[in-house]
């Protein structure tokens, strides 16, 4: 088979074939300049986004922290914005933090001219004597300064300090399943002497200026003399104030009526209504209608105050969730507690 002379080179007869010559071609030049440029652009872009994100987080943190205690309004019932009924929630154990929260919400309502009345929605077994009293007085102050009505709406449980706060309202509406009452005072403290001495080998040493200085003490048994002293100094005054508050703020009840009820007993809705401890059995809609009637309005927007998320509250909750054993914690754990609280032993 021959070769095409036009397409192939042929060696003349008798001549050796030349050795092939290999020419090494230089590799194509890499364009590294653009790659470096784009790499720098991408890195700077990433850094800029990180800085922007951190700045945004900082701005949100500052804003959210400064907004701590500022409340937003959730609409429960639609209505005209110029006529509002504000719902304030009093829930769980009543302590200093609860009283401060209620104070802020009442203050928020008092500064809003469109708010024509309040509903205090109570679902609490009570709490400390001082905090319960502060809430009661804040409600009275709101009524006195604004001349606007307040309705207490009791859900689930409103006993002791929960009832103490409720009687400041103009009217009390309670759900059919309410547990209320428990008018009275309870006092308790821990005695840890045996634990310290027999279990841990620690002997407490107390040096005091007078016999009653440490009554009652967590480091000694409570004597009959100490019990009589506590009853005279703490229990009786707090009890008498509870009776007087209910008698003064529930026009339907005399002091003698309250004393008949104030043996610590709890009451269901029918019993509470029969004993004039409440004004009506109903639900939230009934409480709203009562508030509108007292405010003299036909239509109203019903709003509920909510505290928005803030880093301050988040940090507080994070701190409170950690167990800290320090002198303050130990004091809070061992100090006596005087309570308007319904408890089940």
Residues in a beta bridge with 180: 158, 267
Question: What is the sign of the dihedral through the CA atoms of 319, 322, 327 and 332?
Answer: positive
Residue 160 annotated in active site: yes
Distances (CA, A) of 113 to 103, 123, 147, 168, 330: 17, 27, 12, 22, 46
Q: Is the distance from CB of 130 to CB of 138 less than 8 angstroms?
A: no
Kind of pairing between the strands at 337-341 and 186-188:
antiparallel
Tokens matching residue 295? 């405010």
Tokens matching residue 175? 């759900």
Angle, helices 236-249 vs 129-146, to 10°: value is: 30
How would you write 248-309 as a 3-class SS string? Answer: HHCCCCCHHHHHHHCCCCEECHHHHHHCCCCCEECCHHHHHHHHHHHHCCCCCEEEEEECCC
Longest dimension (CA), the chain: 145
Residue 217 annotated in active site: no
User: Residues 84, 116, 148, 160: which is the catalytic one?
Assistant: 160
Strands (E) across the chain are located at: 72-77, 84-91, 115-124, 126-128, 150-159, 171-174, 179-181, 186-188, 266-267, 280-281, 301-306, 337-341
- With 0-12 / 13-18 / 19 or more C-beta atoms within 10 angstroms meaning exposed / middle / buried, residue 162 is buried
Q: Which secondary-structure segment (H or E) carries 17?
A: none
User: Residues 35, 213, 306, 335: which is the catalytic one?
Assistant: 213
Interatomic CA distance for residues 124 and 91, integer angstroms? 5
Going by C-alpha positions, the residue among 155, 153, 147, 143 that lies closest to residue 106 is 143
Beta-carbon contacts of residue 130 (< 8 Å; ≥ 6 apart): 96, 99
- For the annotated catalytic residues, the residue numbers are 160, 213
């Amino acid at each position: 088979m021959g070769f095409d002379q036009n397409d192939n080179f042929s060696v003349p007869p008798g001549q050796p074939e030349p050795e092939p010559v290999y020419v090494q071609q230089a590799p194509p030049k890499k364009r590294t300049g653009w790659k470096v440029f784009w790499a720098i652009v991408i890195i700077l872009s990433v850094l800029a986004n990180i800085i922007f994100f951190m700045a945004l987080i900082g701005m949100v943190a500052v804003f959210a922290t400064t907004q701590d205690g500022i409340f937003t309004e959730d609409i429960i019932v639609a209505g005209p914005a110029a006529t509002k009924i504000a719902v304030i929630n009093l829930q769980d154990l009543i302590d200093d933090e609860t009283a401060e929260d209620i104070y802020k919400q009442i203050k928020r309502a008092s500064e809003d001219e469109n708010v024509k009345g309040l509903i205090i929605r109570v679902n609490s077994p009570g709490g400390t004597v001082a905090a319960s009293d502060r809430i009661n007085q804040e409600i009275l102050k709101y009524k006195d300064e604004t001349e606007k009505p307040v309705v207490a709406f009791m859900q689930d449980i409103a006993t002791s300090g929960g009832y103490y706060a409720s009687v400041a309202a103009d009217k009390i509406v309670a759900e059919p399943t309410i547990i209320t009452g428990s008018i009275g005072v309870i006092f308790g403290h821990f005695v840890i002497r045996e634990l310290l001495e027999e279990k841990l080998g620690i002997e407490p040493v107390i040096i005091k200026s007078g016999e009653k200085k440490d009554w009652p003490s967590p480091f000694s048994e409570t004597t009959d003399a100490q019990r009589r002293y506590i009853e005279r100094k703490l229990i009786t005054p707090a009890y008498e104030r509870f009776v007087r508050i209910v008698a003064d703020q529930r026009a339907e009840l005399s002091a003698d009526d309250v004393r008949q009820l104030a043996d610590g007993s709890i009451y269901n809705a029918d019993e509470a209504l029969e004993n004039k401890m409440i004004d009506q059995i109903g639900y939230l809609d009934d409480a709203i209608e009562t508030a509108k009637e007292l405010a003299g309005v036909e239509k109203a927007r019903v709003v509920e105050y909510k505290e928005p998320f803030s880093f301050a509250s988040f940090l507080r909750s994070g701190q409170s969730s950690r167990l800290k054993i320090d002198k303050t914690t130990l004091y809070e754990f061992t100090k006596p507690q005087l309570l308007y609280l319904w408890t089940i032993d």
